[in-house]
């Protein structure tokens, strides 16, 4: 590889803004691992693993009481609300409105449609797998829908990672892009962990939700990178005329 080719490769590699998102999708293993995990769940091969983790998070002889202090249970309940439909809907609508007011119409529409279709994909996966909720330990919050994949894990990953990846494209400085993406990953992770702690999801439900959500967000980012402009029309016009400073 010549120096010119090497520099070109490095330039293309560093052009990707949400490296954290790409790494998360790579660790999750992509669609192949999601398919294999779904197959193992349907065959019941993951039950002992799920059971061991859920039991480890409860006090021996008192399965209705989680490990840790009382304030931790309260905090986890607050954290899990960040992955609820109400909070995620408000977050998506507010970000979309902000982008519209900032005259970034293409990316605003793409953000809203990406999150909405991700939610629909999560619902479809639940219906197809139709895994019941775990009954190994008492649930600490009320739930009524199906279990696999975790809707909170997948939808929060879809929402926060998609918003983070697409909003990062609108930021001027690398530090703010890294922060936005890091915040999205952090929120998706702690929301998924909260569902395991509360006993309403098997760990494999949450892992599948992270995997599917990260892949969805990554796909949306790749599409937006190719087809959706991140700058407002006036900004693009200013830069094109050499007035960007």
Q: What are 23-82's pLDDT values in tens digits? A: 555 645 677 778 788 888 888 888 898 889 999 998 888 888 888 888 998 999 999 999
Structural domain spans, the chain: 20-226
DSSP state of 8: H
Query: Which stretches of 130-232 are DSSP H helices?
Result: 151-168, 174-197, 203-227
Token pair 């990406």: residue: 114
pLDDT confidence of residue 240: 43
CA-closest candidate to residue 244, choices 172, 178, 166? 172
- CA separation, residue 43 to residues 37, 47, 209 (Å): 10, 9, 18
Q: Measure the N-to-C terminal CA separation of the chain; round to a whole number of Å.
A: 36
Three-state secondary structure call for residue 65 = strand
Q: Is the pLDDT of residue 238 over 50?
A: no
Q: Are 191 and 82 in contact (CB under 8 A)?
A: yes
pLDDT digits (tens, 9 = 90+) for 82-97: 988 889 899 889 988 9
Going from the C-alpha of 142 to that of each of 34, 126, 145, 195, 200, the distances in angstroms are 27, 18, 10, 11, 8
Q: How large a percentage of the chain has pLDDT more than 70?
A: 79
Express each pLDDT in 219-235 by its tens digit. Answer: 777 777 766 665 555 54
pTM (2 d.p.): 0.77
Q: What angle do CA 218, 213, 81 make, to 5 degrees?
A: 130
Contact yes or no for 163/91 (Cβ under 8 A): yes
Percentage of the chain with pLDDT > 90?
Answer: 10
């Amino acid at each position: 590889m010549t120096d010119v080719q090497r520099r070109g490769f490095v330039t293309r590699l560093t052009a990707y803004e949400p490296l954290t998102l790409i790494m998360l999708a790579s660790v999750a293993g992509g669609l192949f691992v999601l398919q294999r995990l779904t197959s193992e769940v349907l065959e019941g091969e993951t039950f002992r693993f799920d059971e061991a983790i859920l039991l480890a998070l409860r006090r021996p002889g008192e399965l209705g009481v989680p490990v840790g202090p009382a304030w931790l249970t309260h905090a986890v309940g607050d954290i899990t609300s960040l992955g609820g439909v109400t909070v995620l809907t408000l977050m998506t609508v507010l970000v979309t409105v902000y982008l519209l007011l900032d005259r970034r119409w293409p990316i605003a529409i793409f953000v809203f449609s990406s999150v909405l279709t991700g939610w629909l994909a999560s619902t479809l996966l639940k219906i197809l797998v139709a895994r019941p909720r775990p009954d190994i330990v008492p649930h600490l919050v009320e739930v009524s829908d199906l279990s696999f994949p975790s809707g909170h894990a997948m939808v929060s990953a879809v929402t926060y990672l998609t918003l983070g990846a697409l909003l990062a494209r609108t930021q001027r400085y690398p530090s703010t892009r890294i922060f936005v993406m890091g915040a999205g990953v952090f929120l998706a992770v702690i929301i998924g962990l909260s569902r395991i702690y509360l006993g309403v999801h098997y760990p494999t439900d949450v892992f599948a939700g992270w995997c599917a959500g990260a892949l969805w967000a990554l796909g949306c980012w790749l599409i937006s990178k190719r087809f959706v402009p991140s700058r407002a029309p006036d900004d693009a016009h200013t830069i094109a005329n050499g007035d960007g400073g």
